[in-house]
Structure 1
Amino acid sequence: MTVLVGRVPGSDPGPGALVLGTRLARALGGPLVVCTVASPGDADAHADAAPVVDGVDVETIVVEDRSVPGGLARAAHAQHASVIVLGDAPPGPGSVGARLARSADVPVALAGDRAVHDGPITRVTCAFGGGRHAPRVLATAVDLARRTGASVRVASFGPQRGPTVPPEAGLHAEEIVVEQWRDQMLAAQRAALAELGVTDAETVAAAEASVEEAVESIGWDDGEILVVGANAAGAATRVLLGDPGGAIVRGAPVPVVLTPGTTTLA
Structure 2
Amino acid sequence: MRFVVGYTANARGGDAVNLAVALARSQGASLDLVMVLPEDSPYNGAYPPESGFESILAGQLAAWLDEGLALVPADVPAKAHIRRGESEAEALISAAVELDAAMLVIGASSTGPFKRFSIGSVAGALLHASTVPVVLAPTGYSRTKPITRLTCALGTRAGAEDVLRTGIAMARRRPLPLRLVSLVALGADDAGATVDDARNHLSAVAQASRGVDPASLDKLDIDVVVGRGRTIEDAVDRLNWKAGELLLIGSSRLAHNKSIFLGATANRILRALPVPMIVVPRNHEFQSDELFHTTQVPVVDAAGPTEVSK
Q: TM-score, normalised by structure 1?
A: 0.83
d(CA) in 1 for partners of 2:39 and 2:236? 42
User: CA 1:164/1:6 → structure 2, altered by over 3 Å: closer, same or farther?
Assistant: closer
d(CA) in 2 for partners of 1:13 and 1:238? 20
**Residue of structure 1 in register with 2:183 after alignment:** 157
TM-aligned CA deviation for residue 207 of structure 1: 1.8
TM-superposition CA deviations, 1:123-170 (whole Å, max 9, x none): 1000100211111111011111112321110001121136674xxxxx
Amino acid at match of 2:121: S
User: CA 1:149/1:39 → structure 2, altered by over 3 Å: closer, same or farther?
Assistant: same
d(CA) in 2 for partners of 1:123 and 1:132? 24
- SS at the partner of 1:55? coil
TM-superposition CA deviations, 1:158-215 (whole Å, max 9, x none): 21136674xxxxxxxx8xx6233233233234324x4345575101112201111101
TM-superposition CA deviations, 1:45-65 (whole Å, max 9, x none): 232313252211221111010
Contact 2:182 2:199 in 1 (8 A): no
Given the alignment of the two structures, is residue 237 of structure 1 paired with residue 237 of structure 2, yes or no?
no
Structure 2: gaps spanning 5 or more residues: 41-53, 110-116, 291-310
**Residue of structure 1 in register with 2:240 after alignment:** 219
**Residue of structure 2 in register with 1:113 after alignment:** 139
TM-superposition CA deviations, 1:19-77 (whole Å, max 9, x none): 11111222222321110012015441232313252211221111010101101001112
**Residue of structure 2 in register with 1:57 after alignment:** 77
Contact 1:121 1:148 in 2 (8 A): no
- SS at the partner of 1:80? coil
TM-aligned CA deviation for residue 81 of structure 1: 1.1
d(CA) in 2 for partners of 1:19 and 1:139? 25
Given the alignment of the two structures, is residue 24 of structure 1 paired with residue 23 of structure 2, yes or no?
yes
1:124 to 127, 130, 150: 150
Q: TM-score, normalised by structure 2?
A: 0.72
Contact 1:5 1:13 in 2 (8 A): no
After superposing on structure 2, the runs of 4+ consecutive aligned residues of structure 1 that deviate more than 6 Å are none
d(CA) in 2 for partners of 1:203 and 1:113? 29
Greater Cα offset, 145-154 or 61-70: 145-154
Give 1 or 2 for the bigger CA radius of gyration: 2
d(CA) in 1 for partners of 2:93 and 2:175? 28
User: CA 1:217/1:85 → structure 2, altered by over 3 Å: closer, same or farther?
Assistant: same
**Residue of structure 1 in register with 2:203 after alignment:** 187
d(CA) in 2 for partners of 1:214 and 1:263? 29
d(CA) in 2 for partners of 1:249 and 1:12? 20
Amino acid at match of 2:200: Q
Contact 1:123 1:225 in 2 (8 A): yes
d(CA) in 2 for partners of 1:182 and 1:210? 14
Amino acid at match of 1:152: L
Contact 1:122 1:149 in 2 (8 A): no
- SS at the partner of 1:32? strand
Greater Cα offset, 124-133 or 38-47: 38-47
TM-superposition CA deviations, 1:69-88 (whole Å, max 9, x none): 10100111222211110001
Contact 2:183 2:198 in 1 (8 A): no
d(CA) in 1 for partners of 2:172 and 2:279? 18
Amino acid at match of 1:88: A
Amino acid at match of 2:3: V
Structure 1: gaps spanning 5 or more residues: 166-173
- SS at the partner of 1:14? helix
TM-aligned CA deviation for residue 223 of structure 1: 1.8
Sequence identity percentage? 28
d(CA) in 1 for partners of 2:232 and 2:179? 18
Given the alignment of the two structures, is residue 253 of structure 1 paired with residue 268 of structure 2, yes or no?
no
d(CA) in 1 for partners of 2:190 and 2:126? 34
**Residue of structure 1 in register with 2:96 after alignment:** 76
Given the alignment of the two structures, is residue 15 of structure 1 paired with residue 14 of structure 2, yes or no?
yes
